[in-house]
């Protein structure tokens, strides 16, 4: 599953080569056909798979019609970008075991496939659990499935990641 470059990245990060397999995590290859969906909160252009981009646009437009603001924080992330996120946390002194509760190891992030995005809304700091108290989250819970989106990292999820009410993925 992991090529030589990826195995070297795992070694450098201190992640056991069989980490994802032992946890039964699905493997995601980097999507090579991506569509720009505009800038995120920080002005960086985000990309998603074509189907996810279409569904995201429809979701945002529907929410806007209900006076709900949905903003993209993060879309597609490559294997190497995911590795760099982890390296940045290691450089700050975090333990790899703690990091892997929050960040999927490279190769096992839905962001690689361009099917996942992290969502924020006006008035709530991004990427915090308090997002689940926002009208935007309530709207997503009631309507996201109509646009083929679901929230995979709910409380006590089987994959062992922290609860991420901001992380939604396209099921198509």
- Eight-state DSSP code of residue 110: G
Instruction: Say yes or no to pLDDT of 171 above 80.
Output: yes
Q: How many domains does the chain have?
A: 1
**Residue pair 57/75 in contact by the 8 Å Cβ criterion:** no
Torsion of CA 88, 70, 56, 83, to 10 degrees: 0
pLDDT of residue 135: 98
User: Would 155 be classed as within a structural domain?
Assistant: yes
**Residue pair 119/143 in contact by the 8 Å Cβ criterion:** no
Burial per residue of 143-160, b for 16 or more beta-carbon CB atoms within 10 angstroms, e otherwise: ebeebbbebbbeeeeeee
Note down the domain range covering 133.
Answer: 34-76+114-170
Q: How many residues does the chain have?
A: 172
Measure the CA angle with vertex 25, ends 20 and 29; round to 5°.
85
Instruction: Say yes or no to pLDDT of 7 above 80.
Output: yes
- Give the list of residues 6+ apart from residue 72 with CB closer than 8 angstroms, or none: 37, 38, 40, 41, 46, 56, 117, 118, 119, 120
CATH number of the CATH domain containing 150: 3.30.1380.10
User: Would 161 be classed as within a structural domain?
Assistant: yes
User: Would 65 be classed as within a structural domain?
Assistant: yes
Report the distance separating Cα 165 and Cα 158, nearest Å: 15
User: Would 15 be classed as within a structural domain?
Assistant: no
User: Would 91 be classed as within a structural domain?
Assistant: no
User: Would 63 be classed as within a structural domain?
Assistant: yes
**Band of residue 1 on the pLDDT scale cut at 50, 70, 90:** confident
Report the distance separating Cα 102 and Cα 171, nearest Å: 21
The fraction of the chain above a pLDDT of 70, given in percent, is 100
The fraction of the chain above a pLDDT of 90, given in percent, is 97
Average pLDDT over residues 39-54: 97
Q: Mind listing the pLDDT tens digit for each residue in 100-139? A: 999 999 999 999 999 999 999 999 999 999 999 999 999 9
User: Would 88 be classed as within a structural domain?
Assistant: no
Report the distance separating Cα 113 and Cα 76, nearest Å: 7
**Band of residue 27 on the pLDDT scale cut at 50, 70, 90:** very high
User: Would 23 be classed as within a structural domain?
Assistant: no
Average pLDDT over residues 74-101: 97
pLDDT of residue 172: 77
């Amino acid at each position: 599953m992991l090529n030589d470059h990826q195995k070297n990245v795992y070694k450098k990060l201190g992640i056991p080569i069989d980490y994802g397999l032992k946890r039964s995590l699905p493997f995601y290859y980097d999507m090579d056909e991506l569509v720009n969906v505009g800038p995120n909160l920080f002005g960086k252009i985000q990309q998603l798979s074509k189907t996810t981009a279409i569904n995201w646009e429809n979701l945002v437009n529907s929410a806007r019609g209900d006076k709900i603001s949905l903003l993209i924080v993060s879309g597609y992330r490559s294997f190497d970008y995911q590795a760099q996120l982890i390296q940045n946390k290691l450089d700050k002194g975090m333990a790899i075991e703690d990091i892997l509760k929050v960040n999927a190891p490279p190769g096992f992030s839905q962001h690689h496939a361009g099917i996942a995005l992290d969502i924020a809304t006006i008035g709530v700091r991004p990427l915090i659990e308090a997002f689940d108290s926002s009208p935007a989250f309530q709207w997503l819970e009631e309507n996201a499935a109509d646009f083929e989106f679901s929230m995979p990292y709910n409380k006590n999820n089987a994959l062992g990641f922290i609860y991420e009410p901001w992380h939604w993925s396209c099921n198509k």
